[in-house]
Structure 1
């Protein structure tokens, strides 16, 4: 350790030394910047900066951007998230009735969600893989797709989530093709997305 200290370069006398807080764009430490940094680090912002930057720059409806943010934070009201708050709340997914309703399962692993994503142009390479958090899966997908395809994906996920809510609150479950068409819009956009 002493040798490392001994080998540190000593700058000339006329250089002003200053402390810099790298978590603030101005380099100044404030209690607010430290609190923000700790909060963002706790919720997992640090490793997922790519995800957040891409989401807010996409050309899509604001409500879908907020939905995408909620996916990244895992704060959508899935049965598993509700069960953390309400005791004795069943976590069984209403659609398939053989798994807990977690975000990853509801939007990717459930057979109906998987059919919808495949119909939307997602291939097995992008759908497969074992993930604990939905944001990790989405971040891997974001690295592979362009901005338009990402916006289409989140719009499709938005419609999948709305269809789950329709099942929960109205007892109706739209066919996969209807969910996909609702997300895709006119036929020209659909064909462009698939090519």
Structure 2
């Protein structure tokens, strides 16, 4: 299938992983720096929306990990960046689980965007 890798993951999932790892998602903190909007997370209205918050720490996003059962496998330590979290997660889960994690993050990011942009 076009756009998919051997392990079944899509190029969109890999792109999101790279964006999370490099802290380049257009989250509130980055948008505020560009004077485009406030920095508070639009999903939980509780904290500054940084990449790690938007993809892992937001209570609404974390619910995806709980529902999927992935929260049991993922490290719960505090992390300084999306890259640090992804690297540690990759070390504690197998390849299939890590691909599933990336798919969950991608779905969470899409749902967040729908909520923020389409309400």
Range of TM-score over shorter length: 0.7 to 0.9
Aligned residue for 1:83? Answer: 32
4+ runs deviating over 6 angstroms: none
Report Cα offsets for 1:124-170 as digits up to 9, x if no partner: 56241111111101110100111111111100100000000000111
Q: CA separation in 2, counterparts of 1:168 and 1:154? A: 21
* Cα RMSD for the two superposed structures: 1.8
Q: CA separation in 2, counterparts of 1:84 and 1:111? A: 24
Unaligned runs of 5+ in 1: 1-55, 172-195
Aligned residue for 2:45? Answer: 97
Question: How high is the TM-score relative to the length of structure 1?
Answer: 0.55
2:60 is equivalent to residue 112 of structure 1: yes
Q: CA separation in 1, counterparts of 2:6 and 2:48? A: 33
SS in 1 for 2:70: coil
Aligned residue for 2:89? Answer: 141
Q: CA separation in 2, counterparts of 1:159 and 1:139? A: 20
In the TM superposition, what are the counterparts of 1:43-192 in structure 2 within 5 Å? 58-86=7-35, 89-124=37-72, 126-171=74-119
Report Cα offsets for 1:63-84 as digits up to 9, x if no partner: 1111111111110100111122
Unaligned runs of 5+ in 2: none
Report if aligned partners of 1:108, 1:127 keep a CA contact under 8 Å in 2: no
Higher relative contact order (CA 8 A, sep 6+): 2
Report Cα offsets for 1:99-144 as digits up to 9, x if no partner: 1111111111111111111222223562411111111011101001
SS in 2 for 1:123: helix
Question: How high is the TM-score relative to the length of structure 2?
Answer: 0.87
Q: Which entry has the higher C-alpha Rg, 1 or 2?
A: 1
